[in-house]
Amino acid sequence: MAERVQQPPAKRLCCRPGYSTTCRQGQRAGGTVCGGSGSGQGGSSKTQSPESLLDIAARKVAEKWPFQRVEERFERIPEPVQRRIVYWSFPRSEREICMYSSFNTGGEENASSGENVDETRLPFRRGIALLESGCVDNVLQVGFHLSGTVTEPATPSEPEMVCSVAISFDRCKITSVTCGCGNKDIFYCAHVVALSLYRVRRPEQVKLHLPISETLFQMNRDQLQKFVQYLITVHHTEVLPTAQKLADEILSQNSEINQVHGAPDPTAGASVDDENCWHLDEEQVQEQVKLFLSQGGYHGSGKQLNLLFSKVREMLKMRDSNGARMLTLITEQFMADPRLALWRQQGTTMTDKYRQLWDELGALWMCIVLNPHCKPEQKAAWLRQLKKWNSVDVCPLEDGNHGNELPNLTNALPQGAHGNQDSGTRPHRTVFTRAIEACDLHWQDSHLQHIINDDLYTNYCYHDNTENSLFDSRGWPLWHEHVPTACARVDALRSHGYPREALRLAIAIVNTLRRQQQKQLELFRNHKKDLLHKGVTSITNLEGWVGHPLDPIGTLFSTLMETGRGDEDSSQGGFLDFSASTMSSSKHSELHLFPSTRRFLEEGESYLALAVETALMGLGQQRIMPDGLYAQEKVCRNEEHLIAKLQEVDLDDTLVKIFRKQAVFLLEGGPYSGLGELIYRESVPMHTFAKYLFTCLLPHDAELAYKIALRAMRLPVLESTAPSGDMSRPHHIVSVVPNRYPRWFTLSHIESQQCELASTMLTAAKGDSRRLETVLESIQKNIHSSSHIFKLAQDAFKIATLMDSLPDITLLKVSLELGLQVMRMTLSTLNWRRREMVRWLVTCATEVGVYALDSIMQSWFTLFTPTEATSIVATTVMSNSTIVRLHLDCHQQENLASSARTLALQCAMKDPQNCALSALTLCEKDHIAFETAYQIVLDAATTGMSYTQLFTIARYMEHRGYPMRAYKLATLAMAHLNLSYNQDTHPAINDVLWACALSHSLGKNELAAIIPLVVKSVKCATVLSDILRRCTLTTPGMVALHSRRNSGKLMSLDKAPLRQLLDATIGAYINTTHSRLTHISPRHYSEFIEFLSKARETFLMAHDGHIQFTQFIDNLKQIYKGKKKLMMLVRERFR
């Protein structure tokens, strides 16, 4: 059983005072099908026949007039006329139905979302499927009301469902919908779509009745009573309470219902006061936007919001008033987002994607307020709403960061009362500021109207050559207005379904930009000598066109490209009559077939060529880097986006000529060009744009390509001696740069783009020595990042040593030179990639040749630290793999080895701590060099080297077969060592044991010499006892490190030097015992007892050791008698 849905109340009251009740008696309220006699709908019949005057008139009335006005205008309307008006009042186009039942019409959904969307799941597609499968039934049209049932087929998980659908319509628009499916969404459900399309496609199968009030007027009293009683009987459980209530009120003379003339009729159409617009579920729009915002960018919410914005643009293009209505609902939810206040409170910025949504919001409002046919009261209402949002504290700012200090440049024409308002009165510029300013703009300028409306608007007799002339020398119209504002007009025209008018204005703007470019070039040439002599320049435009909030260049480019490709749908197009605020609905041909509009193009020029030239002019404009991270990122993002669009265009001879022309303009354009000879220090760099130009021009004009790329390599913001901006006004060159220095948040990205440009040139210049030398000079002059220079060096090395060709020695030398520069730049700074850089440089020098290796070793002190030079450079050069790679003969090997030894000795003298061992290793095969290195170690041992370094070198000497030198170095190391009583795990203990073992193996004299050093340096009892025990096991000089045995006597503990070591060990145990007992805890008692046991073993090594230990224990008992438990343990263990 289908769910019954209560219909909305009638919009107006209906009565027929002019009709005689007597003439109605006995008449029957019969009905005819929509396509019955009198139907003149050509689309419903296969045979074409002329429409009747009745149908033509009824169709026009149905489109424009509310039915109440028709009734008021004529005392009596014949029934056939009423039927035809009712018939033609239902929408006849599926396009609007599709728009309200899917995100985008046609197949655009995939393109906008960037994902593969299953179109069969869209309500519109599902509605078509239900219609075509015969699921629509019981279709009935009563006046301006359509009803029917739609059967949803059963699925494996859901049973069959019958949905009751009701649709109200007025003047070819669906004004309300209800469906029993209970679907809650922004768009119409599939069942509403199916019923609507049934009426559009099969009108002849729909039985049409006049409004129910007309039928009731035809009934006499008996018929009316029977009608009411039957209605109550059929639906008594639902309507009986309501029927009784109404009956009581009607019978009461003073009831409210009797004070009103007539009665409501839900099928009688709209009243005069009703707004004529398509049904839009405002509550669902608000709920959906609120839901998407609450998801914070997850689950594709950002994509869904973008689709909603696309839906607004689609509505605007269809000239549907719901576009502004829907955007208002979206904006209210955006403004109510609780994260705005949280971010403001925390001082954090919103995410980049969320920020872009706000930008789109502001741009859409700009389009809406610039609607060329909106009424003044509409614009006033929008202005009030925009100002209200603008005044909210949490309203996002335009630049995404802080207040913008730019002057108000939007109102370039003095069209409004507030057109020249000082920007100083505005504390900040929000995302709505430009839309608010645009409310002062109008379309009444006669020159503007002629440009937009007339393909033949020319003036060949106009000879005014001033800066703001209305026509150029060819008589073509120009439009002088702040460029972003003028382009916002173009966007508004396109957005509101006027593609042809948008094209005319776009062409006039581009021709104006061309003329200005030529004038600027001439102006600069006249003053070039003076400006170059001063060495300063002026920024000419604070608001760059690329990265601007209104995206002027992107708008012009898209308008011209869509025209050139014939993409723009012109079905809604028509000439505009702005003076009357009306528009003609006459249709015209496709835009790319407009022969008259082409009269304003050069001979042989296309819209595509004009679009490309416009993009090149915008990208090459010199403009200042804006403040704030988001604004700077937007400049980079928009530039890359525009270049990506340009890369989709295949270059032909015509486009190559345009590239050449614009390249010359840019090189010679002075302060107007970002590629001029002098640029302002804080201008937006041209690296990305120049890379694109270089790639495009290289096959056709290599000289020009390199000029562009080399000129663009500059990055003056990093130059300490860069010229400052000229704050004066040299002749007519505008300079409005405030005295500030921006924080370049995107500097790392800019430097990477500079590096990419240089890498592209290096790749292209392979095999051309002159070009490579020029590029190398440019890199060394302009790139200031060591990491980027290193990347370029690596790139050049890879290109020079490709596997499929012989190495390019010139490019290898460039790579080496860049690598040397990196070494010099990072020599005195910390860089985590430094070791990688050094190793790579040696590899590169090896590829260049032996002379390169010799050269870097000769000048090592300017390139490497001593440690790098010995441990990496010299070691790698002396390796067998290097010798084999270079195919060196004996003489060359010796020369290279000599340089490496010289380097090693120099490094050892400069940094003996870190380089001495490497120097000794490198000099092993040369006696003189080895002795020199050893002497350097001895000289540095007393002052500049640690015991760890000395022990390491001593072990190396022993390993090389120099035990006496090892002993000497070990004694020097002992002089630097100091082990306290509790350092029984110190890493130097093994070195001390090794040194004593080495001394013991050399003989009694050596042992006698080192023991005083040990006693002085080591206070740890366990270490001393270990040394003592080892010295008593063998005879000095009789057991070497390799276990060679000889006969001899053991050393006595009662004589020097072991007596001194024994006394020191016993003393160390006593001192350590007292130190431990000072802060001992019960958990350490057992460990302490074990320590005393080891101490007793050492005491007993002396001839009177037993007595000494007993006295020692007795002293402990007396001194620490308060530690009763511990002393009890001591007594038990040592009785």
The residue among 743, 756, 692, 711 whose CA lies nearest residue 546 is: 692
CA gap 449, 366 in Å, rounded: 20
Q: Which range among 188-192, 410-414, 452-456, 769-773 shows the weakest confidence by mean pLDDT? A: 410-414
For 745-774, write each residue's pLDDT tens digit: 899 999 999 999 999 999 999 999 999 999
What pLDDT was estimated at residue 27?
A: 34
Question: Which comes out higher in pLDDT, residue 899 or 79?
Answer: 899
Would you call 477 exposed, middle or buried from its count of C-beta atoms within 10 A (0-12, 13-18, 19+)? buried
Weakest-pLDDT range from 119-123, 142-146, 613-617, 1014-1018:
119-123
Least confident of 112-126, 540-554, 1020-1034, 1121-1135: 112-126
Orientation of helix 687-697 relative to helix 702-712, angle to 10° = 170
Find out whether the peptide bond into 1057 is cis, omega within 30 degrees of 0: yes
- Following DSSP, what letter does each residue of 435-459 receive, concatenated? HHHHTT--S--HHHHHHHH-TT---
Question: The tokens of 952 are what?
Answer: 């390491």
pLDDT of residue 615: 97
Helix (H) or strand (E) holding 13: strand 13-14
Average pLDDT, integer, range 371-390 = 93
- Output the pTM of the full model: 0.79
CB 957 within 8 A of CB 909: no
Share of the chain above pLDDT 90, in %: 42
pLDDT of residue 231: 87
The model's confidence at residue 119, banded by pLDDT at 50, 70 and 90, is: low
What is the predicted pLDDT for the residue at 296?
73
What the block records as the tokens of 166 is 């009701």
Residue 7 pLDDT greater than 70, yes or no: no
Q: What's the rounded mean pLDDT across residues 1000-1020?
A: 91
Indicate the pLDDT class of residue 657, thresholds 50, 70 and 90.
very high
| pLDDT score at 171 | 86
Identify any residues that bridge with 638 across adjacent strands, giving them in sequence order: none
| Average of per-residue pLDDT values in the chain | 82
Residue 484: band (very low, low, confident or very high) from pLDDT cuts 50, 70, 90: very high
At 952, the pLDDT band (50, 70, 90 cuts) reads very high
CB neighbour class for 595 (10 Å; exposed up to 12, middle 13-18, buried from 19): exposed
Q: Would you put residue 164 in left (φ > 0), alpha (ψ -120 to 50) or beta?
A: beta
Mean pLDDT score, 600-624: 90
Residue pLDDT, tens place only, 320-379? 889 999 999 999 999 999 988 888 888 888 888 888 899 999 999 999 999 999 899 999
At 999, the pLDDT band (50, 70, 90 cuts) reads very high
- Mapped onto helix, strand or coil, the DSSP state of residue 209 is strand
Residue 526 has a pLDDT of 82
> Which one is predicted more confidently, 21 or 174?
174
Beta 136-142 vs 145-152: how paired, if at all? antiparallel
pLDDT tens, position by position, 180-233 = 888 888 888 889 999 999 989 998 888 888 888 888 888 888 888 888 888 888
Q: What is the pLDDT of residue 629?
A: 86
Q: Look at residues 39, 77, 84, 37 and name the one whose alpha carbon lies nearest to residue 63.
A: 84
- Residue 112 vs residues 108, 358, 583, 877: alpha-carbon distances, Å: 6, 18, 30, 59
More confident residue, 877 or 50: 877
The arithmetic mean of pLDDT across residues 261-280, rounded, is: 79
Identify each DSSP E strand in 153-294 by its residue range. 161-170, 173-179, 207-209, 263-264
Distance (Å, rounded) from C-alpha 927 to C-alpha 382?
94
Structure confidence at residue 695 as a pLDDT band (50, 70, 90): very high
* pLDDT at residue 599 in the model: 65
DSSP summary character for residue 849 = -
Q: Taking 50 as the threshold, does the pLDDT of residue 578 lie above it? A: no
Mean pLDDT for 64-74 is 79
- Within 45-189, strands assigned E span 136-142, 145-152, 161-170, 173-179
**C-alpha–C-alpha distance, residues 904 and 917, integer Å:** 10
Whether the predicted pLDDT of 588 surpasses 90 = no
Q: Could you tell me the pLDDT band of residue 457, with boundaries at 50, 70 and 90?
A: confident
The helix or strand, by DSSP H or E, that contains position 583, with its residue range, turns out to be strand 582-583
**712-730: average pLDDT:** 63
Q: Of the given ranges (55-59, 421-425, 427-431), which has the lowest mean pLDDT?
A: 421-425
- Helix (H) or strand (E) holding 309, with range, is helix 301-317
pLDDT at 69: 82
Q: What is the DSSP letter of 205?
A: G
Nearest Cα to Cα of residue 540 among 407, 681, 733, 740: 733
Quick one: average pLDDT of 929-952?
92
pLDDT beyond 60 at 1045: no
List the one residue out of 1059, 1077, 997 whose CA is nearest residue 1030.
997
CA pair distance 206, 824, nearest whole angstrom: 88
109-131 average pLDDT score: 67
pLDDT in tens, 13-23: 555 544 333 33
Going by C-alpha positions, the residue among 59, 60, 77 that lies closest to residue 68 is 77
pLDDT value at residue 23: 34
Across the range 903-927, mean pLDDT stands at 94
* 183 CB-near residues (< 8 Å, 6+ apart): 189
Amino acid 12: pLDDT = 58
Higher pLDDT, 1098 or 109: 1098
What are the tokens at 719? 């130059």
What mean pLDDT comes out for the span 664-692?
91
pLDDT at 535: 61
Q: Which pLDDT band holds residue 1049 (cuts at 50, 70, 90)?
A: low
CA atoms within 13 A on the CB side of 641: 14
* Whole-number pLDDT of residue 504: 94
According to DSSP, the β-strands at 207-209 and 136-142 are parallel
